[in-house]
Chain A
């Protein structure tokens, strides 16, 4: 089994629901976003850079097969789960931020201070906490905690806490356009595998050799 995700850019309406679902479910501290949706070519989201050029690009951890973040991590805090998802052990990470530099996709986020202090600094309502409320361990390693330790790095886990219970990641469930799919890349008959071969799927920055397991389906050409 090799986990993979397909994002259909034809169906993505740029609503950022996945971005918010991800932020909330994973209790991300203020100014931390594991998942970003932007309008390529434009400095303003949802504002086309040119007439007719209208598509949106969600980017989160690409769970690379040849993941530089995993290779550089001096303490093996960043590791690959048996299904190929790249996870971070919150109890092992020393916070050297080497992985942040080495990731080409800019998805890794550091905890510059205690999350409670960050909440106060951003004037969140006192004692207001959102997100999955329990710690989650995968193969015994802490890969999610509602309040992060200060000084460690975090990123998308493909929602390890949900997948380990057989549920889909929050972004997949939260997408109103049904643009996101997960499945087994090893199985040539899975939905994701078939979409990849039949719809000209591509990956981001293929020239970096990271071999992402997140694939994108190109938007269709618009009528002129």
Chain B
């Protein structure tokens, strides 16, 4: 283990512990410690779910490229892809826990699952994907589980051939679950007919494209940190950069396509959505478009892929842009009250029925039709802690397991 890795583990481990403490505090006091209220009932945690689910796509991109499309040069990165996928999909499940009012009752999901609920579907696919990523990682590591790690290995005649054969067999199944997590997570939002901002068939394909962009960036970032930016990796990095750029363009196209159609027709709901997305959150919206585009473009440049600081900048821009994109899932929905009508005798008037906040909010009334949500310190701490968890897990696995190519351990 290098000194840098040790430092990384200490910092991420400490952050994780702080987040656990924050969650215990929140368990005691209730979700009053967040800045959500009744009219704005999901916030940073559920944005975090969408964010981590997207990050988990790296495994999918690599396995399908290698085993379905035969891009052999990516093979050295396959384990890193499976590992980041596992870390992020488990992070996605963890970030839901602090959002749940009564987490001790989660067993009800097993006892009384409602098969109509997309949340139940999501829990199922997230778990399946986590298992698939773990099994896949294990199969890929199998030939090198020797010596100190020998006890972990199942006994097979020719581990290399076995690993190759099973990786090829698992790849299509894993791919199915992988696409499933993005589609079903999107459905949680896009099935809600109450919310015009979400109720769009484009959301699921868009989630897939965002995920391919950001998940691949996560793998590229991890690979550059682990292996550096030497000549022997440039070919693989260029392939990843191209995938990232194309997926980002598809994402921006899908987003713009949706907005143009609605804006062209110009109904009131769309006007209200636009006011929020481009009015209240104009700068954030600009960032969610410009940062990933710039980041993705940088990651196609050989000069950028060949220099660690530049590669880090490009990846950071893209990941930050996608994070803001995930944050912006909420405001245009919650600040757009579905119960809006045109009162008798007032055509042209669109009046929204205010919602009772459910908690004392000093400085505002009880009934709200607009709420400037910004996450509380507890929410931010817990989210950072879950990010730290993913980093910690990746570092720990790299330190203990044959994740990297032999000469880099």
The residues of B that contact A183 with a CB separation of less than 8 Å are none
Describe A's contact surface by its main secondary structure. loop
* A101-B343 contact given A74-B120, A95-B102, CB 8 Å threshold: no
Q: When the two chains form their complex, are residues B360 and A31 in contact, meaning their CB atoms are under 8 A apart?
A: yes
Q: Which residue of B lies closest to A57 (CB)?
A: B353
- Size band of the B side of the interface? 35 or more
Q: When the two chains form their complex, are residues A93 and B102 in contact, meaning their CB atoms are under 8 A apart?
A: yes
Contacts between chains A and B (CB distance < 8 A), count: 189
Interface residues as binary, B347-384 with A (CB distance below 8 Å gives 1, 0 otherwise):
00101011111111100001100000000000000000
The residues of A that contact B112 with a CB separation of less than 8 Å are 75-76, 92
Q: When the two chains form their complex, are residues B30 and A205 in contact, meaning their CB atoms are under 8 A apart?
A: no
In chain A, positions 191-218 with a C-beta closer than 8 Å to chain B are 204-205, 208-209, 218
A131 within 8 A of B: no
Chain A contributes a number of interface residues (CB within 8 A of B) equal to 61
* A150-B356 contact given A74-B117, A106-B39, CB 8 Å threshold: no
Alpha-carbon separation in the docked complex, A13 to B114 (Å): 42
* A101-B194 contact given A36-B353, A53-B343, A151-B102, CB 8 Å threshold: yes
Q: When the two chains form their complex, are residues B194 and A36 in contact, meaning their CB atoms are under 8 A apart?
A: no
Q: When the two chains form their complex, are residues A105 and B117 in contact, meaning their CB atoms are under 8 A apart?
A: no
* A31-B359 contact given A76-B112, A110-B31, A150-B30, CB 8 Å threshold: yes
Q: When the two chains form their complex, are residues B101 and A98 in contact, meaning their CB atoms are under 8 A apart?
A: no
Describe B's contact surface by its main secondary structure. loop
Alpha-carbon separation in the docked complex, A95 to B103 (Å): 8
Query: Sorted from nearest, which 3 A-B pairs have the closest CB atoms?
Result: A95-B101, A151-B101, A40-B343
Offer 19 A-B interface pairs, CB within 8 angstroms, sorted by A.
A33-B367, A41-B343, A53-B344, A75-B108, A75-B111, A76-B113, A94-B109, A95-B31, A98-B119, A98-B188, A102-B192, A106-B353, A113-B31, A117-B29, A152-B101, A205-B338, A205-B339, A205-B341, A208-B338
Point out residues on A near B: beta carbons under 8 Å: 29-33, 36, 38, 40-42, 49-50, 52-53, 55, 57, 59, 68, 71-77, 92-98, 100-106, 108-114, 117-118, 121-122, 149-153, 204-205, 208-209, 218-219
